[in-house]
Amino acid sequence: QAAIEAVALTKEYENGRGCRNITLRVEQGEAFGFLGPNGAGKSTFVKMLVGLVGPTSGQATIWGQPIGSLEARRLIGYLPELYRYQEWLTGQEVLMLHARLCGLSKDEAKRTLPELLEEVGIGLRGQDRVKHYSKGMQQRLGLACALVGGPKVVFLDEPSSALDPLGRLDVRHLLLRLRQRGITIFLNSHLLEEVETLCDRVALLNDGRILQTGAVRDVLQEK
């Protein structure tokens, strides 16, 4: 059973841009990089897989469940590129909101939350309002939100692009830990080094099309 399987998945916007004919398979526990310049179609592809954008044609499944279905959504964690928080809430409150939206009971959520805040390195700052968080802290919170339902596959859309070098290092360590726990990772990035250090395999995307797919070493050294 593949963690992610897409067959000829296509989204064409009115302006002709989007994602064309994307076929790929990501195995369970794999860290897969989707590498391409801005505007290549990375976000569009991930939005289709998490059920936010409907494909024009083609199919895809998450653990055998059709994308957009409730069954698929339950298996997914998603860190969007630009997550806008309710910044008057505290980190803990944002996470609680996500937990309840994921279907956790209040008691379950209360039990899980401190551990999750610890894991992403927010800890006691969970009691501060989000408006006092740096971008790096906001990404940590976003990651906690993506993890709250105990997903099997996590989609990360450019998690480091707004961060300074220290923030990037932070995100890298967090993702390495996810990998070690066996969570399947799908990482959108335009940063070569991010994909290089984290991913097993990579697909190169340009203008909505895949140019090449393969082991990180093979693909990135040839170019």
Kindly list the residues in this chain that would bind ligand ADP in the complex (CB under 6 A).
13, 15, 17-18, 36, 38-44, 52, 78, 80, 83
15 CB contacts (<8 Å, ≥6 apart)? none
118 CB contacts (<8 Å, ≥6 apart)? none
> How far from chain centre, in Å, is Cα 144?
12
Tally the C-alpha atoms within 13 A of residue 116's C-alpha that lie toward its C-beta. Answer: 26
CB closer to ligand ADP, 126 vs 208? 208
CB closer to ligand ADP, 44 vs 61? 44
Residue 18: CB minimum distance to ligand ADP, A = 5
How far CA 69 is from CA of 8, 64, 66, in Å, comes to: 19, 11, 6
Compute the distance between CA of residue 36 and CA of residue 191 in angstroms, rounded to an integer: 8
Compute the distance between CA of residue 189 and CA of residue 3 in angstroms, rounded to an integer: 20
CB closer to ligand ADP, 12 vs 27? 12
Per DSSP, what are the bridge partners of residue 62?
4, 65
CB closer to ligand ADP, 82 vs 124? 82
Residue 50: CB minimum distance to ligand ADP, A = 7
Residue 56: CB minimum distance to ligand ADP, A = 12
Residue 15: CB minimum distance to ligand ADP, A = 5
Residue 161: CB minimum distance to ligand ADP, A = 10
CB closer to ligand ADP, 27 vs 51? 51
Cβ atoms within 10 Å, residue 81: 16
